[in-house]
Amino acid sequence: MFYYLNGEITLLEENLAVVDCGGVGYACRTSGYTLSKLKIGQRAKLYTYCNIREDAFDIFGFSTREELHCFELLLGVTGVGPKAAQAILSAVSPDRFTLAVMTGDEKALTSAQGVGKKLAQRIILELKDKLGSAVTEVSTVDYAPVQPTGGSPLTLAQAALGELGYHQAEIAAALKGLNPEGMRTEEIVRHALRAMVMR
């Protein structure tokens, strides 16, 4: 179906953005995270997921492939539908979602409307292995000496950045010279993201 829509944003409402592509307005259901990056009258590219049912055809649009990836992962969790996935990504950014799953942060997930503790626990249980599988592939070259244990904040941060679509060379460059001792996983990820923006 559609991989992305690229056009002028003509309407923004709660959880909805309309993209004009060649004179056709496509209504994209989306998250608060993506809405915060859009402006009426400006062009934007939204990566899409089409939810086709017998009685509906809904297009979900996201400003980054990373957010779309998180959305698709959420849809694979038992009991999570498009509306719940959209609510979660409206409450937390893609990187915060990845960290919440990898660190078992239920509170971050339950901050989303309609997501209770049991559903948050199920999301963490079903996605932690999928997101954490990258941990064993992480390289620690060019970093300050740290024990490369599977649960260390540095290793989790590296894996989280990998899941967000960054290559190992980019991650290594962003964290080069950083002494992560005493830092939380989220702090390391934020440092890396800031460093990437500044490059």
Q: pTM score, two decimals? A: 0.68
User: Angle, nearest 10°, between helix axes 94-103 and 65-75?
Assistant: 40
Q: Does residue 78 surpass a pLDDT of 60?
A: yes
pLDDT tens track for 163-180? 777 788 888 888 888 888
Which distant-in-sequence residues (6+ apart) come within 8 Å of 10 by Cβ? Answer: 18, 19, 20, 25, 40, 41
Alpha-carbon distance of 196 to 191, in angstroms, equals: 9
Q: CATH topology for 4-62? A: OB fold (Dihydrolipoamide Acetyltransferase, E2P) (2.40.50)
Domain 65-133: give its CATH architecture: Orthogonal Bundle (1.10)
Q: What ranges do the domains of the chain cover?
A: 4-62, 65-133, 134-198
- pLDDT band, very low/low/confident/very high, at 103 (cuts 50, 70, 90): confident
Q: Does residue 122 surpass a pLDDT of 60?
A: yes
Are 60 and 19 a contacting pair, CB within 8 Å?
A: no
